[in-house]
């Protein structure tokens, strides 16, 4: 696959960068180097065992600069923007096929039985729900990517199985960051669940972010897309005019002329255009946004050839992911929900619209330069009041309508004490912050765990 004397440089020591180093080592590559701009990057000791040379602390370091100038292949971790100035000359110098990320390397190693899922929201739920569905079937199943184990770790695990009675199947969640450096993927089915504004601190504009997501469509034999997304339809019309309708499955909550899969709320079934039905009556997922995730999952699984019985069993057996609209407890008739995974406004919008009950909302954190003006209309939808927390809540404050009471709480514990005193039986307290967590927490997982601990202490 690579010339024996080729020099490979990995940018980033995170879990993804480490997986690249392990995979290259397994492939017999001898000249592996790595750089990281952090003074104390993770996995430094493990990377040192796999790499000939390393440089940490700055990409401008003389050792880092020498490695960038001399490498034959550049493998960039998804957390490192392609527009990083110190990488520009290396990216320009190397052939395009010599620059990639972990998914690009995976794509060169695995050519079949790949289901790839991306989208602004819902991709983790759909990925793991598909894992539950395909667990019913005779596959050597691997689920991960941007979620859980990196794709290359999954590939190595599949290679380690000496007796491969079952053929491997990879179900991968892919982020826009990963798709930026991927161009050789051969997914059997690629699903683009939705598009909304996110990561605008990384991309030059919304169109740039959308372009990264749309890259998956070009690299998938069949695609599953929402029935009401003009940007995707415009892309198909201009970029992929030869793609036949038989290769496209469209999903929606409602039946319309464009929809191939939709939800029958009355019968609690997902219905396909051919008239087949899958019950979701026993699912533990809550909210209309999760119902849409179920419809998308049914579309993907059915298009892959899974029986309706297996799909229904997978939906019934599925255990919802932590920190995603999860019920924590009920206190005095008020139910508390942890949706800490909502790190952007579109995720919070989905949660708000997914719960019909009157809601007390906790918002705030690191805004990532998002536009919060849609809150003016969104907060009119059954919101009793808003508690604001985190570093950037002042950026949210001007977009709260005058009719909605708000409380500048600053911290989660203060917010919960405030809302417990106000919420009435039948209402809910929804922690769906619409922001990143790194101002006060290590990540959304820690933020969610602390929220649940505080709720149990009320």
Q: What's the Rg (C-alpha) of the chain?
A: 23
**Structure-token match 């949706």, residue found:** 339
382 is in an annotated binding site: no
128 is in an annotated binding site: no
Write the CA distances from 147 to 175, 280, 282, integer angstroms.
9, 24, 25
User: Rounded CA gap, 280 and 290, in Å?
Assistant: 11
User: Rounded CA gap, 279 and 352, in Å?
Assistant: 24
Which residues does residue 336 pair with via DSSP β-bridges, in sequence order?
A: 329, 429
118 is in an annotated binding site: no
123 is in an annotated binding site: yes
448 is in an annotated binding site: no
> Which residues are marked as active site?
123, 146, 199
Strand duo 428-431 + 359-363: pairing: parallel
Show the CA angle centred on residue 218, arms to residues 214 and 224, nearest 5°.
70
User: Rounded CA gap, 76 and 181, in Å?
Assistant: 8
Three-class DSSP category at 92: helix
Length reported for the chain: 458
Query: Strand runs (DSSP E) across 156-243, as ranges?
Result: 168-173, 187-192, 220-226
Task: Give φ, ψ of 366 to 5 degrees.
Answer: -100, 120
Three-class DSSP category at 229: coil
User: Rounded CA gap, 115 and 301, in Å?
Assistant: 9
Write the CA distances from 254 to 51, 260, 290, integer angstroms.
53, 10, 14
Task: Give φ, ψ of 142 to 5 degrees.
Answer: -135, 120
Structure tokens at 257: 């002329």
121 is in an annotated binding site: yes
Q: Return the HEC string of 340-386.
A: CCCCCHHHHHHHHHHCCCCEEEEECCECCCCCCCCHHHHCCCCEEEE
122 is in an annotated binding site: yes
Structure tokens at 192: 């683009």
Q: Which residues contribute to the annotated binding site?
A: 119-125
Q: Which residues contribute to the annotated binding site for ATP?
A: 119-125
């Amino acid at each position: 696959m690579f010339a024996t004397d080729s020099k490979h440089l990995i940018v980033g020591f995170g879990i993804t960068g480490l997986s690249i180093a392990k995979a290259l080592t397994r492939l017999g590559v001898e000249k592996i180097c790595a750089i990281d701009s952090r003074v104390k990057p993770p996995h430094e000791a493990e990377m040192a065992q796999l790499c000939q040379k390393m440089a940490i602390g700055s990409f401008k370091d003389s050792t880092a600069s020498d490695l960038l100038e001399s490498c034959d292949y550049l493998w960039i971790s998804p957390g490192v923007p392609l527009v990083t100035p110190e990488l520009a000359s290396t990216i320009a110098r190397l052939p395009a096929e010599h620059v990639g990320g972990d998914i690009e390397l995976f794509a060169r190693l695995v050519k079949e039985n790949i289901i790839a899922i991306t989208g602004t929201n819902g991709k983790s739920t759909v990925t793991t729900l598909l894992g539950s569905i395909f667990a019913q079937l005779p596959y050597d199943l691997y689920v991960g990517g941007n979620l859980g184990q990196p794709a290359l770790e999954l590939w190595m695990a599949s290679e380690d199985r000496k007796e491969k009675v079952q053929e491997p199947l990879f179900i991968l969640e892919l982020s826009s960051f990963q798709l930026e450096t991927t161009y050789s993927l051969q997914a059997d089915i690629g699903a683009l669940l939705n598009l909304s504004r996110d990561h605008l601190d990384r991309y030059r504009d919304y169109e740039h972010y959308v372009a990264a997501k749309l890259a998956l469509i070009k690299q998938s034999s069949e695609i599953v897309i929402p029935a009401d997304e003009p940007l995707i339809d415009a892309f198909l019309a201009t970029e992929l005019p030869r793609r036949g309708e038989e290769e496209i499955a469209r999903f929606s909550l409602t039946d319309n002329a464009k929809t191939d899969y939709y939800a029958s709320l009355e019968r609690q079934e997902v219905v396909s255009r051919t008239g087949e039905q899958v019950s979701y009556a026993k699912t533990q997922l809550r909210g209309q946004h999760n119902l849409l995730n179920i419809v998308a999952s049914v579309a993907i699984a059915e298009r892959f050839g899974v029986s309706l019985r297996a799909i229904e069993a997978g939906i019934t057996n599925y255990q919802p992911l932590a920190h995603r609209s999860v019920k924590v407890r009920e206190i005095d008739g008020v139910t508390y929900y942890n949706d800490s995974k909502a790190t952007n406004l579109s995720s919070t919008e989905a949660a708000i619209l997914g719960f019909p009950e009157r809601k007390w909302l906790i918002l705030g954190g690191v805004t990532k330069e998002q536009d919060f003006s849609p809150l003016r209309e969104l907060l009119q939808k059954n919101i009793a009041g808003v508690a604001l927390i985190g570093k950037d809540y002042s950026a949210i404050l001007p977009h709260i309508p005058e009719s909605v009471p708000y409380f500048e709480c600053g911290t989660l514990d203060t917010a919960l004490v405030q809302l417990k005193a106000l919420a009435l039986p039948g209402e809910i307290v929804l922690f769906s912050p619409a922001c990143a967590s790194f101002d006060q927490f290590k990540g959304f997982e820690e933020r969610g765990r602390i929220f649940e601990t505080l709720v149990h202490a009320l």
